[in-house]
A and B are shown apart, each in its own frame.
Chain A
Amino acid sequence: MILAGLILAEAAAIYENKNATQSQSYGPEARGGASKSEVIISDEDIDYPKATNIDLLLALTQESCSKYAVDLKENGILIIDADHVKQLPKGNYRVFSLPILTAAQDKVGKLIVANIVALGALVEISKVVTSESIEAAVLSRVPRGTEELNRKALTIGIEIARAAL
């Protein structure tokens, strides 16, 4: 997921004329348990690098959803994995419960690309960057030889988001 955050920020910063920062949680929790990748995208200078008053939270586990939803703003977008997040946080959010991990496993054929599936869904729902930018950013970051797999993951992500919109 940390990579997904990095790719999203890169799509905005390198492929669109926006400012972006990305930071992430380090330490023991990044090696299991809830880890976090924070992305800020803006047309203005980004000074304070931590995400507060969040517009969009993507959470694939119950733990990360419960832990980080507190910073989500009123009417913010909450994208969760339909199978892994059952308890919704209290608050007024636009919730998208999507079968992200299942789609990665069944439709793309590799669970490891769940982050890219999620990224496709995130971009389709938020329109924070264009689908062209995100594709270019994904392809520039993934290992050589996995381009088709990741392109497919991105498309599947966009599709499952569209179905929910």
Chain B
Amino acid sequence: MEPKKNALFVQGNHACFLGAVRAGCQFFAGYPITPSTEIAELCASEFPKMGGRFIQMEDEIAAMGAVIGASLTGLKSMTATSGPGFSLKQENIGFAIMAEVPCVIVDVQRGGPSTGLPTQSSQSDVLQARWGTHGDHEIIALAPSTIPEIYTATIRCFNLAERYRTPVILLLDEIVGHMREVLVEPPADSIEIWNRTRPTCSPAEYLPYRHTESGIPEMADFGSGYRYHVTGLCHDETGFPTNDPKKIDRHVRRLISKIGRHRDEIIEYSTRAIEDADVVLVSYGSSARSAKRALDDARAAGLKVGLFKPMTIWPFPEEALRLLANRVRNFIVCETNMGQMKLEVERIVGGKAAVHLVNTLNGEPITPQSIVDRIREVM
């Protein structure tokens, strides 16, 4: 019996690990938490064989700190957690934003608040991903729906983190993290890998937080001869704390605009059957699987339904959805939370169309039938 070539039948968490390896990740620090632990376990068993480094830290906060420390030495670094741990990590995610340290944080979402539903799914960290850490900031977050998507999204998270010197969040959920599907790893040369830009100037000339044309300063590895200062305080181009209102303003604006002005490169989304759609489903992560099934069932019944599926959920593919809202009268957001993305869709649509919600809050996925029922109601 000949097996399918290069095909693996793996969990989403495993695909995430494989994507991280392909992206060049060499450092993982974490703390055990369901339903993300498989990622840590794979790193623990495989990294030392590949010269990478794993460490189980004393808590979630420490894991995030260690990831940032490792990244400052030049290693691509990641951690994985779930809701309660993601809450604890927010402090140092803010540090990574402020100090512009590339890293990837995987949040395999489970039900909440608090300890919630450790072994069941939810998408209720969508706004925590966006606004979990304090202070004004931009964030990049991706929410894949299938095992092959998790693989490529993980690679993309590292690419985006490196290119934009920022933490990037991979928002999985228990369903896609734990389910198994076929993954065919693409050939290495078909995958683009981005690395952080390192300085080429002399150490004396190096400005670690220089206002470059792209908005992204060059990043030197600790120990490479460029001695510089990294702080979570507001700082100027030299990296040292400043109280100068002009410099502070310029710094914070750059941190935000370096993401905003590259939206076109960062944002990815897909659509299905939207050309003639009267109703468009908006969904992501595991819920997008239910939405796609509902769409196919509804189309088979003659209903004109489309699907708008953001892969990058932060920043949200705002322009594309706004264009769609010029024509479509009804959007149905399908997500396993109380409408966290619905809020964003409502903001973008700006009253031009009705925005409805189909959700579950009990750890179970949304059934395609419940979406079809809702489609019939709004049509």
Contacts and interface: CB of A to CB of B under 8 A. Distances in A.
Interface stretch (B21-29, B177-185, B235-243): B177-185
Contacts of A91: none
B178 A48 contact: no
Nearest to A132: B1
B119 A27 contact: yes
B119 A13 contact: no
Interface size range of chain B in the complex: 20 to 34
Interface stretch (A17-25, A67-75, A151-159): A17-25
Contact of A23 (B179, B292, B368): B179
A22 B9 CA distance: 9
Quick one: which of B1, B182, B290 has the most chain A CB within 10 A? B1
Interface string A65-83: 0000000000000000000
Contacts of B120: 27
Contact of A49 (B1, B2, B9, B175): B175
Contacts of B286: 49
Given A27-B118, A47-B292, A52-B367, A13 B179 contact: no
B179 A15 contact: no
Given A26-B119, A27-B118, A48 B290 contact: yes
B interface SS class: mixed
A68 to B, nearest CB: 15
Contacts, number: 73
A50 interface: yes
Contacts of A23: 175, 178-180
Interface string B357-379: 00000001101100000000000
B179 A48 contact: no
Quick one: which of A9, A14, A15 has the most chain B CB within 10 A? A14
Quick one: which of A14, A15, A48 has the most chain B CB within 10 A? A48
B4 A14 contact: yes
Nearest to A23: B179
A136 interface: yes
A147 B246 CA distance: 71
Interface string B139-163: 0000000000000000000000000
Contacts of B180: 6, 9, 21-23
B293 interface: yes
A133 interface: yes
B179 A14 contact: no
A interface SS class: mixed
B367 A136 contact: no
B7 interface: yes
Interface in A1-39: 6, 9-10, 13-15, 17, 19-27
Interface in B163-213: 174-175, 178-182
B371 to A, nearest CB: 10
A78 to B, nearest CB: 23
A106 B64 CA distance: 53
Interface of B: 1-4, 7, 9, 34-35, 118-120, 174-175, 178-182, 286, 289-290, 292-293, 296, 364-365, 367-368
Instruction: Give the 6 A-B CB pairs with smallest separation, nearest first.
Output: A27-B119, A136-B1, A47-B293, A26-B119, A23-B179, A22-B180
